[in-house]
Amino acid sequence: MIQVEGLTKYYGRHAAIGNLTFSIERGQVVGFLGLNGAGKSTTLKVLGCVLLPTSGRVSIEGCDVVRDPHEIRKRIGYLPEQPPLYEEMTVGEYLTFVAQLRGVGAKETPAHVADAEEKTALRDVHGEVIAGLSHGFRQRVGVAQALVHKPALLVLDEPTAGLDPVQIVEMRSMIQRLRGSHTVLVSSHILSEISQTCDHLLIIQEGEIVARGTEQELERRLGGGSRVEVEVAGPAAKAVAAIRTVPGAGGVDIESEQDGVARLRVELASEQRPALARALVGAGVDLLRMDRAEGRLESIFLKLARETREPSKEAA
Amino acid sequence: MSAALLIARRELGSYLRTWSGYLVVAGCLALNALMFHAFAMGSGSKRSAEVISDFFYYSSGMTMTAAILLSMRLLAEERQSGTLALLYSSPLRDHEIVLGKYLSGMAFLAIYILSTVYLPLMVIVNGKISVGHLAAGYLGLMLIGSAAMAIGTFGSALTKSQVVAAVTSAVLLVTMLVAWLLAHVTERPLSTIFPAMALHGMHFSPFQKGVIHVRDIVYYGLVTYVALFASTRVLEARRWK
């Protein structure tokens, strides 16, 4: 559905994205993950036909972003980081305007608007002026404008930015509901959001894709490494000695040791956690708690970030 | 409905719902009325045709001022509020965006221009004016307003600050207004070209006196076209930045 080959975008002399290549299949919900300034928004702006690439080729359903931008714009719905809202309009007026702007006929427009409002739970504020809406509702109006013309591809740039926890959960389930009827590309730097919403990941770092695949694939590819937090009663040294006997256990950091309780962080493949528990108990260490130090995706992301930074350190 | 008309209708709705447009129109109408009484009517006796001619002279200045103030928001506000991304990502040509914006500004400017009609009507009550003179004068106001609105649209396309847009447009407009001054310090053919390029002077005077020349209509049409074309190019260039 989306083919990106060698995409490069320069702002003046600064390369925001360099030689980006990836593809996305129809019907997928893809997470575009990267730190701030990694080049996510620039890539999405090119896909949304807001910016043109410096070089490279981007095609959506066979249409080229430079040669046929008009055709592409009919097939995409784009939500920028800041929702593009005309605040003096009501939600209904705004969605009607956007639908007609994107070529929906006058007769079909009310049905399209009603459908978009239904999908984004905006029915109750149809007649409300946008300026008077909360941030969460405004973000939903932003998503509604992106899907009001029923595009094949939805490009959502940081759709949960600035939302409170309840609104984030609502937005997540809204995006999940879009699965099947649209191909969705969601960017975020919030790992848990991507982890829970998307079935395929693209990780971008300093303008380049450094990893792609499902969360499981990435975990396998990167050695399944995750960090486990362990809390034991007794001396840390005894626990460390027991941990060293576990096959695959990496570095052990003693986080704290006070009042007879030691907290340790262990580099360990996730499937080795039962072995770790057995080793500790077998060595006579009282195991109080064992937990993932960070989510799977977080550990993958941190590992990638460290990997990409290492060469630059060496170069320095 | 075409995309340009859709944009124009939305923008006009925005003018009518927010206070800024009304404020500009009210301020310009008040100043126009002041100048009408202070200068066009004057203290001495004047023929009705002379009063109307002076009315159009002063009204042209206020029309250009109103056009610059009304146009400063057209594209600058879209960039400032991030809504330009909505237009850029919709299946529109850049010239449709510019045209829609310009048309909305012209529609609101037309409301302002037509609101001044009570002043010449006061002259009709006490004197004698030909309808042709009035029609020619108002056509002139619409044309000079159109040129100023297009220049304002261009200024608004250059920046996301409305203030900077207004200042840029005003500088461009004043440069075009005083182009005839260069005729005094240059030799032929430049001394004949500069007055012909000036926005007011030789092109507006005939309308003021009730005379319509095709060359003047073409001139204002050309200035409008060039300014709108330049605005379109600015929008296109932004996609490459």
pLDDT at A27 over 90: no
User: Domain range holding A258?
Assistant: 223-297
**Do the Cβ atoms of A86 and B14 come within 8 Å?**
yes
pLDDT of residue A314: 43
Q: pTM score, two decimals?
A: 0.83
Quick check: is A315 in a domain?
A: no
Q: Count of domains in chain B?
A: 1
**Do the Cβ atoms of A102 and B90 come within 8 Å?**
yes
pLDDT of residue B197: 87
User: Do A267 and A205 belong together in one domain?
Assistant: no
pLDDT at A128 over 70: yes
Using a CB–CB cutoff of 8 Å, tell me whether A131 touches chain B.
no
The one-letter amino acid code at A295 reads G
**Do the Cβ atoms of A101 and B239 come within 8 Å?**
no
Phi and psi for A265 in degrees, rounded to 5? -115, 130
Instruction: Please say whether the beta carbons of A167 and A147 come within 8 A.
Output: no
User: Do A155 and A240 belong together in one domain?
Assistant: no
H/E stretch holding B155 reads: helix B131-158
Using a CB–CB cutoff of 8 Å, tell me whether B5 touches chain A.
no
Using a CB–CB cutoff of 8 Å, tell me whether B128 touches chain A.
no
- Closest CA of chain A from B237, distance in Å: 10
Quick check: is A273 in a domain?
A: yes
User: Do A197 and A238 belong together in one domain?
Assistant: no
Instruction: Please say whether the beta carbons of A302 and A267 come within 8 A.
Output: no
Residues in contact with B58: Cβ distance below 8 Å, sequence separation at least 6, in sequence order: B32, B35, B36, B39, B40
Indicate the SS3 state at residue A202.
strand
pLDDT of residue A222: 62
pLDDT of residue A18: 83
Quick check: is A15 in a domain?
A: yes
pLDDT at B97 over 90: yes
Of residues B99 and A216, the one with the higher pLDDT is B99
Banded model confidence at residue A293, pLDDT cuts 50, 70, 90: low
User: Do A230 and A208 belong together in one domain?
Assistant: no
pLDDT of residue A295: 55
- Each residue of B34-86: pLDDT tens digit? 999 888 787 777 788 889 999 999 999 999 999 999 999 999 999 999 999 99
Quick check: is A308 in a domain?
A: no
Query: Rounded to whole angstroms, how far apart are CA atoms B109 and B224?
Result: 15
Quick check: is A218 in a domain?
A: no
Chain A CB contacts of B84 under 8 Å are 84
Quick check: is A194 in a domain?
A: yes
Using a CB–CB cutoff of 8 Å, tell me whether A142 touches chain B.
no
Using a CB–CB cutoff of 8 Å, tell me whether B88 touches chain A.
yes
Pick the residue from chain B with its C-alpha nearest to A13: B241
Is A99 exposed, middle or buried (CB count within 10 Å of its CB: 0-12, 13-18, 19+)? Answer: buried
Quick check: is A263 in a domain?
A: yes
pLDDT of residue A313: 45
Instruction: Please say whether the beta carbons of A20 and A207 come within 8 A.
Output: yes
Q: Count of domains in chain A?
A: 2
CATH classification at residue A290: 3.30.70.1560
Indicate the SS3 state at residue A58.
strand
pLDDT at B1 over 70: no
pLDDT at A96 over 90: yes
**Do the Cβ atoms of A100 and B91 come within 8 Å?**
no
DSSP string spanning A128-197? Answer: SBGGGS-HHHHHHHHHHHHHTT--SEEEEESTTTT--HHHHHHHHHHHHHHBTTBEEEEEES-HHHHHHH
ipTM of the complex: 0.89
User: Do A130 and A233 belong together in one domain?
Assistant: no
- Closest CA of chain B from A122, distance in Å: 19
**Do the Cβ atoms of A100 and B1 come within 8 Å?**
yes
Chain A CB contacts of B239 under 8 Å are 50-52
Query: Rounded to whole angstroms, how far apart are CA atoms B34 and B42?
Result: 11
pLDDT of residue B41: 80
User: Do A236 and A194 belong together in one domain?
Assistant: no
CA A166 vs. chain centroid, Å, equals 18
Average pLDDT score over chain A: 85
Q: Quote the DSSP letter at residue B37.
A: I
- Whole-angstrom CA distances from B50 to A16, A193, B117, B129, B136 are 63, 73, 16, 10, 14
- Of A193, A213, A233, which closes a domain? A213
Report the pLDDT averaged over residues A11-33.
Answer: 87
Chain B CB contacts of A71 under 8 Å are 91
User: Do A208 and A243 belong together in one domain?
Assistant: no
Tell me which of B89, B99, B238 to substitute to probe the interface with A (most A C-beta atoms closer than 10 Å). B89
Quick check: is A316 in a domain?
A: no
Using a CB–CB cutoff of 8 Å, tell me whether B126 touches chain A.
no
Instruction: Please say whether the beta carbons of A266 and A249 come within 8 A.
Output: yes
User: Domain range holding B29?
Assistant: 3-240
User: Do A86 and A209 belong together in one domain?
Assistant: yes
**Do the Cβ atoms of A86 and B91 come within 8 Å?**
no
pLDDT of residue A316: 40
Within B180-213, residue ranges assigned H as helices are 190-197, 201-208
